[in-house]
Amino acid sequence: MRLLALAIGAAGLLLWPWAAPRYFVFLASLIVVNAIVAIGLNLLSGYTNQLSFGHAGFLAVGAYTAAIVATRSPGAPVVVATLAFGFVVVEAILNLDGLTRGNDGLRVPAARLGPWALATDTARYYLVLVVGAVMMWAAGNLARTRTGRALLALRESEVAAQASGIHVARYKTLAFAISALYTGVAGGLFAFVVGFLSPDAFDVFLSVDFVAMIILGGLGSVPGSVAGAAVLTVLNDSLAGFQNYRPLIFGAILIASMLFMPGGIASAVRRLRTRWAGHPPMAPDSRRGLE
């Protein structure tokens, strides 16, 4: 039953570019990119209860890194472009304006994967989809590793975790690093999907959008992150003509999710599922369980 649903979902995602108009293929790519950021942010907030209003910054670093690598060495495979973080950050600090063209913005050349140039929306969609699926799978499995269990213990009680030999500072730093890695990779993909970068796209309000995605989706839930990212990306896109109302609606969503749907979409779905199965409703304190 579960496998069947997964197979139908996967087939739907793979066939999407043939069923939908070009713009919706682009939008789907954007959803996946945002979902990767949301998963990354959720690894931080869901595990350590820390908020970050700086994730737009990591996204910017990742995006500019990818764009610059692709511009400088046009033959470089996209993997290099998305993962080549550190050295470009150093170079960027040394030589900022020449690299990023400041406020004029930066046009991103097409990504290359071996012999293929990913020049169409469909090609970029598949690239983003594959990377997104791998990262989602990795995040889902994290809870089953030693590190993941340490993070879970940390979330339940810092003091108790410390008492059982978990180095709190080290694991919190690790959670932040993994979170930043996810966001950086998403930034690289963002650069290729959008094709044009300028600094004002990465303001603090973008960081707030990411926070809204994981709150709506459900803290600590990987599928929830994806759902939150999907809903808010589509909403954001349909509100393009009503920029003034956007923060109003996003703020109202934050308040409403906390008041009426604590635990977000993820726990609402879980509650519905137990009700259909005929079980009594679960205890309220287990609402932040990780799946």
Partner 1 sequence: MTSAALVHVVVSGLATGSIYALVALSLVIVYNATRTLNFAQGEMLMVSTFAGFTVYAHVKLPLVVVMLIAVAAAALLGWVIERVIIRHAIAATHFDVLIITLGLSLVLRSAAGLAWTHDEFPFPSFFGTRPIVLGPVRVAPVSLGIIGASLALMLGLWALFTGTRLGRAMRAVAQNQRAARLVGISVERVYAASWILASVVGAIAGVLIAPVVFLSSQMGLVAINGFIAAVLGGFGSMPGAVVGGMLLGVIENLAPLYLPSSIKHSVPFLVLIAILLVRPGGMLGRVARRKV
Site residues (vs partner 1, CB under 8 A): 49, 51, 157-160, 163, 208, 211, 215, 244-248, 250-255, 258-259, 262
Q: Minimum distance between the CB of residue 270 and partner 1, rounded to whole angstroms?
A: 18
Question: Smallest distance, Å, CB 174 to partner 1?
Answer: 20
Instruction: Give the position of tokens 């809204």.
Output: 212
For residue 214, the minimal CB distance to partner 1 (Å) is 10
| Phi, psi for residue 248 in degrees, rounded to 5 | -60, -50
Our CB check for partner 1 shows the closer of 49 and 71 to be 49
Burial class, 261, CB count within 10 angstroms (exposed 0-12 / middle 13-18 / buried 19+):
middle
* Neighbouring C-beta atoms of residue 70, cutoff 10 Å: 24
The least CB distance from residue 248 to partner 1, in Å, is 4
Q: 137 is written with which tokens?
A: 């799978």
Q: Which is nearer to partner 1, 143 or 261 (CB)?
A: 261
State the Cα torsion 140-145-146-151 to the nearest 10°: 0
Q: How many CA within 13 A on the CB side of residue 243?
A: 1
C-beta of 137 vs 205, nearer to partner 1: 205
Identity of the residue, 145 or 173, whose beta carbon is nearer to partner 1 in the bound complex: 173
CB of 139 vs partner 1, minimal distance in Å: 21
Structure letter (DSSP) for residue 281: P
Q: Is 112 helix (H, G, I), strand (E, B) or coil?
A: strand
In the complex with partner 1, the residue whose CB is nearer, 53 or 116, is 53
If one counts every other C-beta atom within 10 angstroms of the C-beta of residue 190, the result is 29
Question: In terms of CB distance, is 101 or 246 closer to partner 1?
Answer: 246
Query: Minimum distance between the CB of residue 258 and partner 1, rounded to whole angstroms?
Result: 5
Give me the sign of the Cα torsion angle 202, 177, 168, 224: positive
Shortest Å distance, C-beta 136 to partner 1? 24
* Pair 105, 198: CB distance under 8 Å: yes
Q: What is the 3-state secondary structure (H, E, C) of 228-277?
A: HHHHHHHHHHHCCCCHHHHHHHHHHHHHHHHHHCCCHHHHHHHHHHHHHC
Q: How far is the CB of 159 from partner 1 (least distance, A)?
A: 5
Closest to partner 1 by CB, 49 vs 147, is 49
| Structure token digits, residue 58 | 């990591």
Whichever of 9 and 247 has its CB closer to partner 1, that residue is 247
